[in-house]
Amino acid sequence: MGEKQDKGQRTIQSVEKACQIVRALRELDGAGVTEIADQVNMSKGSAHTYLKTLQRNNIVTEIDGRYQLGLFLLELGEYVKHQNEVWQFAQEPLEEMAAETGELARLIVREQGYGVYLAKAAGEHAIETTIRPGQREYLHYTSQGKAILAHMSEAEVRKVIDTHGLPKRTEKTITESAELFEELEEIRERGIAFSQSERTRGLRCVAAPIHAPSGTVVAAIGVCGPTSRMRGDRFREELPTLVRDKANVIEVNMQMDAD
């Protein structure tokens, strides 16, 4: 059970390898022993031992020599989601926002410098999306992510940039820290974040931050749609008012539950 140092932190190598295998199975959509061994740079014998250990603990399943992630992870995921305080109070406002706008409403929570999609609701005209609950995104190119960043301290934002960078997703993505900080200041002033084809071409989004009773920003709620429907007063006035209202409802309910 070897240990290694990683940026000043001690980690257990066997656990690191097991986590790499779990991620690899997701990325490969299932794989055999040889594929896994190649993917995580270990011998076939070691890969087989790890996979059998994970199988014995219901983390993976195996059919005809091909391994896949097991449904036990679904049980864990559902547990984590239901334990999240924001999710508990955001479901109804999220569904209401989707119904009232006809668009796609999404909830993102902050975790380790990323934005994690926790829930979504589709209105009558909502766009199709491959984004699934649990998916991680960089914070700088979504409206929800920027709403979160805008209400973090400058030191926290710089740490996110140093750790994850500002990778380019489209030609509209902000990739310079100075430009990002300028926009974050504007977001704080108006209480609303906009995204205009910064993650996905032709998609515009509006989002507002959600603060925990302690005052810390923990999530953001937003609505997204095609540029053809997200423009003019609807994009700049109507939707921001609605999104702010829903975020406020979530915050108030969280505060009442904490009192």
Q: Tens digits of per-residue pLDDT, 183-232?
A: 999 999 999 999 999 999 999 999 999 999 999 999 999 999 999 999 99
Q: Which one, of 184, 182, 126, 183, lies nearest residue 150 by Cα? A: 184
pLDDT band at 2 (very low <50, low <70, confident <90, very high): low
Percent of the chain surpassing pLDDT 90: 83
Structure-model confidence comparison of residues 131 and 42, the more confident one: 42
- Within 13 A of 16's CA, how many CA atoms are on the CB side? 14
Give the global pTM.
0.83
Distance, in Å, from the CA atom of 138 to the CA atom of 132, rounded to the nearest integer, reads: 15
In the structure, what pLDDT confidence band is assigned to residue 1 with cuts at 50, 70 and 90? very low
Taking CA 145 as the corner, what is the angle to CA 140 and CA 151, rounded to the nearest 5 degrees? 100
228 to 72, 127, 135, 194, 225: CA distances (angstroms) = 42, 12, 26, 15, 8
Quote the mean pLDDT of the chain.
92
Instruction: Map tokens 């014998």 to a residue.
Output: 45
Residues 156-182 have a mean pLDDT of 96
pLDDT band (50, 70, 90) for residue 258: confident
For residue 163, give the amino acid letter.
T
The torsion defined by the Cα of 54, 56, 62 and 66, in degrees rounded to 10, comes to 30
Is pLDDT at 133 greater than 90 in this prediction?
Answer: no
Helix residue ranges per DSSP H, 110-238: 143-150, 154-164, 177-190, 232-233
CA 232 to chain centre: 28
Q: Which pair of tokens denotes residue 24?
A: 């690899």
pLDDT in tens, 69-85: 999 998 998 888 888 88
Distances in whole angstroms, Cα of residue 259 to Cα of each of 214, 216, 256: 11, 16, 5
Number of Cβ within a 10 Å radius of residue 112 = 9
